[in-house]
Amino acid sequence: MEGILAGVFALMDRLLPFAFAEAGFMKRALLALLLTAPASAAMGVPLVQHRMAFFSDAIGHSAFTGVALGVLLGVSPSWTMAAFGVLVAVAIVLVKGRTDLSTDTVVGVFFSTVVALGIAVISREKGLTRNLQAFLYGDPLAVTDAELAGMALLLLLVAAYLSLLYNRILLLGIDEGFARTKGVPVRAVEISFAVAVALVVTAAIRTVGILLVTALLVIPAASARNVARGAASALWVSVGIALFSGVAGIVASWYLDTATGATVVLAAAGCFALTALLRVARPRG
């Protein structure tokens, strides 16, 4: 594990002979973004199609409770955050399937509940507030080796998951009844997608923070929509924009001395503005 990481860092030294990439923590941050941003952007394409931006925001905010639980139990908050995020994701899907309430109402109820629960726990344990800061705004500069390994594993899992189920996820996003007649196991796909989103969101929180994590999924996919016509270009443009924003954001944050996560999101927002202009300039038929 450490050997692999040392090799990667040596490679980065050779490829990026710049001042910003000299420090070990900067390499770590860059690596964290190069691993989480493409996974988030790839999941973002079907997420936007399914109109689940609010869902992803709710999962992000469940990290308040997830982190608090980790500190209370004496486990690394990264793992409890992921576990609790998955729990909330599955709960939302199950409740949504058993009620006539609209999806955004169900998500709204869970959103408020998990934030309230998190704040209640944190306010009881005075020492927790400091811990939370890193999760609120993201802190890619403090990513540990174990977390990097987890992010790499997650990227592979997301690639495998999307390779297997992408067509069925898109069919489900077009029309549920139609997808069923095409043999899509609707409930299973729905739950697996929610779980995958939860894992990606909670991993990306380490880099851009609870407040901005949805941006990492939604903005690259939304930008891709501005310029892509087909399903293939939509995914690759989204991933490309995420990689560019990750690198551009981290470099800019080094020179401007700004928060890394926020700068990355601003770079992505810049890409959105640019693609929106391109779209206006070249209206599609």
Partner 1 sequence: MTEEGHLHTLSIRNLTVRKGGVEILSGVDADIRCGEVTALVGPNGAGKTTLLQAILGQVPYTGQIRFCRAREHGQGEPRIGYVPQRLSLDRDAPLTVLDFFALSAQRRPVFLGPSRKAREAARKSLEQAGVGHLLRRPLGRLSGGELQRVLFALALRDEPDILLLDEPVSGVDVAGEELFCDFLSQVQRNSLFSLLLVSHDLSVVTRHADQVICLNRRIVCQGATTEVLTPENLAAMYGSDAHLFRHTPADGHGHLHEPGE
* Residues 114 and 58: beta-carbon distance below 8 Å: yes
Pattern 143-182, partner 1, x by CB under 8 A: -------------------xxx-xxx-xx--xx-xx-xxx
Q: Does 102 bind partner 1 (CB under 8 A)?
A: no
Q: Work out how close the CB of 228 gets to partner 1 at its nearest, in angstroms, rounded to a whole number.
A: 4
- Distance (Å) of CA 274 to CA 30, 243, 252, 263: 24, 16, 18, 17
Q: Does 228 bind partner 1 (CB under 8 A)?
A: yes
d(CA 211, CA 202): 12
Nearer to partner 1, 65 or 275 (CB): 275
Structure tokens at 185: 């196991």
* Residues 252 and 269: beta-carbon distance below 8 Å: no
Q: Does 282 bind partner 1 (CB under 8 A)?
A: no
Q: Does 87 bind partner 1 (CB under 8 A)?
A: no
Rg, C-alpha atoms of the chain = 19
> Interaction with partner 1 in 31-50: which residues (CB under 8 A)?
45, 49
Nearer to partner 1, 196 or 234 (CB): 234
Nearer to partner 1, 81 or 196 (CB): 196
Q: Work out how close the CB of 170 gets to partner 1 at its nearest, in angstroms, rounded to a whole number.
A: 6
d(CA 280, CA 275): 9
Q: Work out how close the CB of 47 gets to partner 1 at its nearest, in angstroms, rounded to a whole number.
A: 13
Phi, psi of 250 (to 5 degrees): -70, -40
* Residues 38 and 157: beta-carbon distance below 8 Å: no
Handedness of CA 73, 75, 78, 82 (dihedral sign): negative
Pattern 183-202, partner 1, x by CB under 8 A: x-------------------
Q: Tell which one of 218, 224, 251, 271 touches partner 1 (CB under 8 A).
A: 224
Nearer to partner 1, 98 or 126 (CB): 98
Q: Tell which one of 20, 137, 236, 244 touches partner 1 (CB under 8 A).
A: 236
Q: Does 235 bind partner 1 (CB under 8 A)?
A: yes
* Residues 245 and 71: beta-carbon distance below 8 Å: no
Task: Please identify which residue in the block is written with the tokens 């209206």.
Answer: 283
Nearest to 85 by CA among 246, 213, 268: 213
Q: Work out how close the CB of 57 gets to partner 1 at its nearest, in angstroms, rounded to a whole number.
A: 20
Contact residues for partner 1 (CB under 8 A)? 45, 49, 162-164, 166-168, 170-171, 174-175, 177-178, 180-183, 224-226, 228-236, 284-285
